[in-house]
Amino acid sequence: MLRRGSATRFAAGRLLATGALLLALSFIVFALLYLMPGDPAKNLLGVRSSSPEVLAQVRAQYHLDDSFLLQYLHWLGSVVRGDFGQSIRSDESVLSLLGSRVALTLELVTYAFIVTVVFAVPLGVLSAWRAGGVLDRAASTAAIVGVGAPSFAVGLLLLYVFGLQFGLFPIYGSGSSGLERFTHLTLPALTLAIGLGALVLKLTRTAVIAELDQDYVAFARSRGLADRRIQTLVLRNALLPVITSLGLVFTFLFGGTILVEITFALPGIGSLLANSVTYKDVPVVQAITLLTAGVIALVALIVDLLYFAVDPRVRKRAAA
């Protein structure tokens, strides 16, 4: 009962903190419109006609004659109802504009994240367990190259080799669904996974080596504990920094797909954000920025909850 109560308090505290963070981020995102030079009404009109009648209509629609705080509250209320306004370029609802693009970006990010976890984490563990060996040196060299290689350069290389030269994968577009979507997203996902997978590999290797140097490992070996049991203890204790790194990887993947989506001509939120910034489509930029901030806050919340589930020290502090 005590453990369940402490878990409830811990989760409630993190939820409140996440809600407060999202509220602060929404205020900053709303202020983007007012950080732009010029008249906010004209900025919202974009290249459309800005006659006095139209400007008055825009001011009334967005409550621009109210105080800044009242304008923010009106905007926040609309966002809570799912209304992010209209796109300046297409005059389309921002929410409908984001619909399919968010789904595509999530598919790409999930694909790249799975590739990263499946390959980088086990390889980092094996490298640490056989530190100084051939596998460790080869993996460390590959990780250094992967971390230092720009994603757009990796993408172009993969396009040239596996798309143009061998014709194994499509070179642009997202495909429709199923196997076709899988093949279209393979090269972009690999492009994202190579750099971030190299980082996760290094962090995993470092975390496991740090645990192997602890006194409890030497004590366990001196007592004749089986290697499998020692490995289990080491991996459990090294899991916390690995969880943190994976959380950071997912948030970076979601927010850092712009270059990859442009390179592979994918109609995701990254390419939409780049185009919206170019054309000063403020409502779309606000929506994407808030969405990205929300994903980052949600991942941080999940990481905190995983910490509570994995680390007994966190549970002890929560129960105190």
User: Do 123 and 233 lie in a common domain?
Assistant: yes
pLDDT band at 115 (very low <50, low <70, confident <90, very high): very high
Provide the mean pLDDT of the chain.
82
Report the C-alpha gap between 243 and 191 in whole angstroms. Answer: 22
Higher-pLDDT residue of 298 and 318 is 298
User: Do 247 and 157 lie in a common domain?
Assistant: yes
The pLDDT of residue 1 is 42
pLDDT at 164 over 80: yes
Number of domains within the chain: 2
Query: What percentage of the chain has pLDDT greater than the value 90?
Result: 4
The pLDDT of residue 118 is 92
Which structural domain, as residue segments, surrounds residue 253?
A: 102-278
The pLDDT of residue 5 is 63
**Most confident range, picked from 116-120, 223-227, 284-288:** 116-120
pLDDT at 318 over 70: no
Lowest-confidence segment of 92-101, 120-129, 201-210 by average pLDDT: 92-101
User: Do 124 and 259 lie in a common domain?
Assistant: yes
225 in any annotated domain: yes
User: Do 8 and 66 lie in a common domain?
Assistant: yes
Q: Which two tokens stand for residue 105?
A: 């970006």
In this prediction, residues 246-266 reach a mean pLDDT of 81
The pLDDT of residue 67 is 83
Q: 181, 188, 180, 198: which is closest to 163 by C-alpha?
A: 188
Higher-pLDDT residue of 263 and 256 is 263
pLDDT at 2 over 60: no
303 in any annotated domain: no
Higher-pLDDT residue of 318 and 83 is 83
pLDDT single digits (tens) 299-316:
888 887 877 777 676 667
User: Do 38 and 177 lie in a common domain?
Assistant: no
Report the C-alpha gap between 165 and 66 in whole angstroms. Answer: 60
Per the listing, tokens 């980092």 go with 124
User: Does residue 158 contact residue 167 with C-beta atoms inside 8 Å?
Assistant: no
CATH of the domain at 206: 1.10.3720.10
The pLDDT of residue 114 is 92
User: Do 64 and 187 lie in a common domain?
Assistant: no
pLDDT band at 74 (very low <50, low <70, confident <90, very high): confident
User: Do 41 and 120 lie in a common domain?
Assistant: no
pLDDT band at 232 (very low <50, low <70, confident <90, very high): confident
Higher-pLDDT residue of 107 and 57 is 107
86 in any annotated domain: no
pTM here is 0.81
266 in any annotated domain: yes
User: Do 71 and 106 lie in a common domain?
Assistant: no
Report the C-alpha gap between 10 and 316 in whole angstroms. Answer: 11
Report the C-alpha gap between 43 and 79 in whole angstroms. Answer: 20
Considering 80, 113, 132, which residue would you say is the last residue of a domain? 80
265 in any annotated domain: yes
Higher-pLDDT residue of 43 and 31 is 31
pLDDT at 80 over 70: yes
44 in any annotated domain: yes
pLDDT single digits (tens) 199-223:
889 888 988 888 888 888 888 888 8
User: Do 21 and 108 lie in a common domain?
Assistant: no
Query: What percentage of the chain has pLDDT greater than the value 70?
Result: 92
User: Do 68 and 115 lie in a common domain?
Assistant: no
User: Does residue 72 contact residue 27 with C-beta atoms inside 8 Å?
Assistant: yes
pLDDT band at 111 (very low <50, low <70, confident <90, very high): very high
207 in any annotated domain: yes
**Most confident range, picked from 108-122, 241-255, 284-298:** 108-122
**If you write DSSP's letter for every residue of the chain in order, what string do you get?**
-HHHHHHHHHHHHHHHHHHHHHHHHHHHHHTHHHHSSS-HHHHHHTTS---HHHHHHHHHHTTTTS-HHHHHHHHHHHHHTT---B-TTT--BHHHHHHHHHHHHHHHHHHHHHHHHHHHHHHHHHHHHTTTSHHHHHHHHHHHHHHHS-HHHHHHHHIIIIIIIS--S-SS---SSHHHHHHHHHHHHHHHHHHHHHHHHHHHHHHHHHHHTSHHHHHHHHTT--HHHHHHHHHHHHHHHHHHHHHHHHHHHHHS-HHHHHHTT--SHHHHHHHHHHTT-HHHHHHHHHHHHHHHHHHHHHHHHHHHHH-HHHHHHHH-
User: Do 174 and 238 lie in a common domain?
Assistant: yes
User: Do 146 and 251 lie in a common domain?
Assistant: yes
107 in any annotated domain: yes
